[in-house]
Amino acid sequence: MMEIGRKIIHLDSVDSTNNYTAKLMNQGQIDHGTVILADEQFAGRGQRSSDWLVKPGENLTFTVFLDRVNVSVNQQFILTQIVSLSLVDILKQLDLKAEIKWPNDIYVEGKKIAGVLIENQLRSSLIQSSIIGIGLNVNEVGFQDFIATSIKAEIGAFKNVQEVLYSFIYSFNKTWNEFIKNTDRLNAEYHNNLYLKGVEAHYEDASGRFFGVIKGVQTTGRLIIQKNEELMEYDLKEIKFLMQSAL
């Protein structure tokens, strides 16, 4: 059982909860399942090396450390699926229609509400340990030029950040135990919550901009898009989702 949350380290401010976790791991000073929570993260990192900046205390920024994961490198997308579905679960409990924008951003009504950055440490063909960084917009309402939202912006009510964290811990443990040995069901549930699946939308790849339809995601995590009459496969940095007005 990969239970998390028995130990929570609460920091006032840190450059990045992932960086802090990695330092503890390298020093042999962190136990499996430890959660690192920070009120302020001033150098957080998102996918594609982007920054994740939040206002102190308003949102949920934390990292989960998993040790002795022993999942095959070829199956590492399982971690992405379980974390994403855990976030979707806690938002649906608040009556929010949350979807997974491949591979692991969480969207509500076409706006980003959460992001995930997973850094795996490998031993041979297995994942030895995993550092899972998560940012979830809880009470922030001013996003300036970002197309983003938060729990408060959607439901009109303040939510205690730590209570939201406890909800995630419960959901992650439940989701892990439910799906880790049933990857077919895990894949089906991930696809059931996949943003823009089966919908014609705008994308950009190395050849330029195009209309395409997401058909699914391989178990390796590669995105499958129908481009004209051809099924194309993409890794994270090979495809870009575009806004409707971008063409």
Residue 245: pLDDT above 70?
A: no
pLDDT at 143: 85
**pLDDT > 90 fraction of the chain, expressed in percent and rounded:** 85
**Ordered DSSP codes for 72-96:** EGGGTHHHHHHHHHHHHHHHHTTT-
Q: Regarding beta strands 44-45 and 223-227, do their DSSP bridges make them parallel or antiparallel, or are they unpaired?
A: unpaired
Q: Regarding beta strands 223-227 and 105-108, do their DSSP bridges make them parallel or antiparallel, or are they unpaired?
A: unpaired
Structure confidence at residue 247 as a pLDDT band (50, 70, 90): very low
Residue 96: pLDDT above 90?
A: yes
Residue 26: pLDDT above 90?
A: yes
pLDDT, tens only, 151-197: 999 999 999 999 999 999 999 999 999 999 899 999 999 999 999 99
Element (H, E) at 202: strand 200-205
Under 8 Å between Cβ of 218 and 224: yes
Output the CA angle 24-29-31, nearest 5 degrees: 100
Rounded to whole angstroms, the Cα distance separating 149 from 140 reads 8
Rounded to whole angstroms, the Cα distance separating 245 from 243 reads 5
**pLDDT > 70 fraction of the chain, expressed in percent and rounded:** 92
Structure confidence at residue 54 as a pLDDT band (50, 70, 90): low
In order of start, what are the domains of the chain with their CATH numbers?
8-192 (3.30.930.10), 200-246 (2.30.30)
Residues found in the chain: 247
pTM listed for this prediction: 0.93
Rounded to whole angstroms, the Cα distance separating 242 from 100 reads 16
Structure confidence at residue 142 as a pLDDT band (50, 70, 90): confident
